[in-house]
Amino acid sequence: MELSLQFDTKSKCKICNEYAGFVQFCAKLTSVIYSGTNQVTDQNINTCPIILILEDDRATLEELQEALSNEGFVILLAENIHTFERLKINHVIDLFLIDLSLPDGNGLTLIREIRAGSDVGIIIVSGKTSEIDRVVGLEVGADDYIIKPFSPRELLARVQAVFRRTHGNKYPEQAVSLSVEIAEFLDWKLDLSSRRLITKDDKEVELTTAEFDLLRAFVEAPNRVLSRDFLLNQLHSLDWVGYDRGVDGLVSRLRRKLKRSVNSVSLIKTVRSVGYIFTASVKKL
């Protein structure tokens, strides 16, 4: 795995200059090229907007990176969907650039999945030039459609335009952490400090570590669609890494335990092909 950092001691993040409060000064870091499966850990990555690019053609991938380098972005590169999914799980993304024609899947499917759970910026970069391709791409959720070959200046301008419309939106959407110790929903109380699920009769329902982590992710983001990838990333046990469908079995077990309530309401609903949504209102105590 190769990680390349490029530093420019004289440049500021142009996005920071334009959007005060969106990101802070990017402290010399102007570009990160990354194609591995591990998490980038440089301390500056948290201060710059992250762009994840999915493009199977190496020459085009390098052209995209070159066009966006020295502009204050952290750039993650993926040549296939497998690497793309890994990077998407391990990082909070500010903007996606996605090709449609991929050797191991369909870019439109990825866009639908991302858009179902987030209003993050998405730009299609494709060699498909027909009107129907452009219309379908925009209808499934892309914010813009760039046709190859592209002008580097136009690409940068379009990226900045999408940031103007979507700045602050990220994937996965960042749930607001509960600053309280207890979350209450229907007949249940989830004690976040002691990691206990309690019924209205003050009886404890035993949860495994993974079940608690999953339920906490739900109560911190009620009534929002959460993708399997996002939920998988909330599980702290390494046994779950790479098993997105394993989340389905975990959700089933959690549903059975939550149905012990008198009302026996299904609180976790499936969103087909995307993930799940926690339907209860959560009160912070």
For the structural domain made of 182-284, what CATH number should be given? 1.10.10.10
CA distance 2 to 137: 32
CA distance 244 to 275: 10
Across 169-190, average pLDDT: 75
- Mean pLDDT, the chain, as a whole number? 77
Report pLDDT digits (tens) over 201-220. Answer: 888 998 888 888 899 989 98
Query: What DSSP assignment string belongs to 131-199?
Result: HHHHHHHHHTT-SEEEESS--HHHHHHHHHHHHHHHTT--BS--PPPP-SSEEEETTEEEETTTTEEEE
More confident residue, 260 or 148: 148
CA distance 177 to 104: 36
- Contact indicator for 282, 184 with CB cutoff of 8 Å: yes
Note the pTM of the prediction, 2 decimals. Answer: 0.53
**Look-up of token digits 């607001």:** 176
Cis peptide, bond prior to residue 172, ω within 30 of zero: yes
Structure tokens at 142: 């892309």
Residue 30 has pLDDT above 80, yes or no: no
Q: Name the fold adopted by 3-166.
A: Rossmann fold (3.40.50)
Query: Which region among 156-170, 199-213, 233-247 has the lowest average model confidence (pLDDT)?
Result: 233-247
Sheet holding 268-271, edge to edge: 225-227, 275-278, 268-271
Query: Which region among 75-84, 151-160, 267-276 has the lowest average model confidence (pLDDT)?
Result: 267-276
Parse the chain into domains and list their residue ranges: 3-166, 182-284
CA distance 199 to 6: 54
CA distance 163 to 122: 10
Residue 37 backbone class (left: φ over 0; alpha: ψ -120 to 50; beta: rest): alpha
Q: Tell me the torsion sign for CA atoms 43, 156, 166, 115.
A: negative
- Contact indicator for 41, 57 with CB cutoff of 8 Å: no
Q: pLDDT tier at 164 (50, 70, 90 boundaries)?
A: confident
CA distance 185 to 180: 14
- Contact indicator for 183, 219 with CB cutoff of 8 Å: yes
Residue 68 has pLDDT above 60, yes or no: yes
CA distance 215 to 251: 9
